[in-house]
Amino acid sequence: MNSDQLKVIPINTKAKLVSINHEPTLCVIKAQKLYEFDKNTYAKLAGCDFHNGTIEVQVLSQLLPDAPDFARGFIGLAFRINEDDSAFESFYIRPTNGQTTDPVRKQHAVQYFSYPKYNFEYFRTHHITDFEGPANIALNQWIDLRAEIKDETGKFYLNDRLVLKVDHLKNGASPRGTIGFFVDIGTKGFFKNLQITPAD
């Protein structure tokens, strides 16, 4: 599926198709739930039913002019989104953490979470470190993001490098649903060259 063929439904976001270097690109900005983390803030594909398979997309993140100090350029994917947007899985990145000299922040460049219960705050409160990790990424650069999903397992790659593996997706093996282009606080996110390869 090419970017110029996307039919998306904005959920708590604003989304529009733009042209960057003559390539059709989807721009997504968080429009509601502005200061709540790890919520259903994405533009989701219309008419998509995904369970297992591979999702590939190129992403580029910028900070909005009014982004708060704690904004990190959050951008990524949501998948297996149910019909009423009350449950989904997600993998996203924090580009500003990719090249920081702060050793703590550096370990928080990539993130898996599961909506509605298992957000990054839940994991950190319970001292669960399995769902974050480092990555060599930055703002204002195109990053190849790939998610390989099979039942309860998710493998997540940046620029063809495995950066996180989740052995037990929190919503389980059976859910299926659509795919979303996820952004969070202070981010102007761009997405292009989406490819979905279903495995069932």
Nearest partner of 195 among 87, 91, 48, 92, judged by Cα: 48
Residue 37: C-alpha distances to residues 40, 71, 110, 170 (Å): 9, 10, 15, 18
Structure tokens at 117: 């219960």
pLDDT tens for 56-102 read 999 999 999 988 888 899 999 999 999 999 999 999 999 999 988 88
What are the pLDDT digits (tens) for 4-63?
Answer: 467 999 999 999 999 998 999 999 999 888 778 899 999 999 999 999 999 999 999 999
3-198 belongs to CATH 2.60.120.560: yes
Type of residue numbered 8:
V
Query: What does the pLDDT read at residue 68?
Result: 85
Q: Report the percentage of the chain scoring pLDDT > 70.
A: 98
pLDDT given at position 156: 98
Domain boundaries, the chain: 3-198
Q: How far apart are CA 138 and CA 15, in angstroms?
A: 22
Give every CB contact of residue 24 below 8 A, 6+ residues apart in sequence: 2, 3, 4, 17, 18, 192
Higher pLDDT, 119 or 51: 51
Does the structure show a pLDDT above 60 at 116? Answer: yes
Is pLDDT of 1 > 70?
no
Sheet harboring 53-63: ordered strands across? 13-20, 23-30, 187-198, 53-63, 143-150, 153-158, 161-166
Instruction: Find out whether 180 and 196 touch, Cβ atoms under 8 Å.
Output: no
Q: What are the structure tokens assigned to 110, written together?
A: 């990539």
**pLDDT at residue number 2:** 47
Identify the pLDDT of residue 5.
61
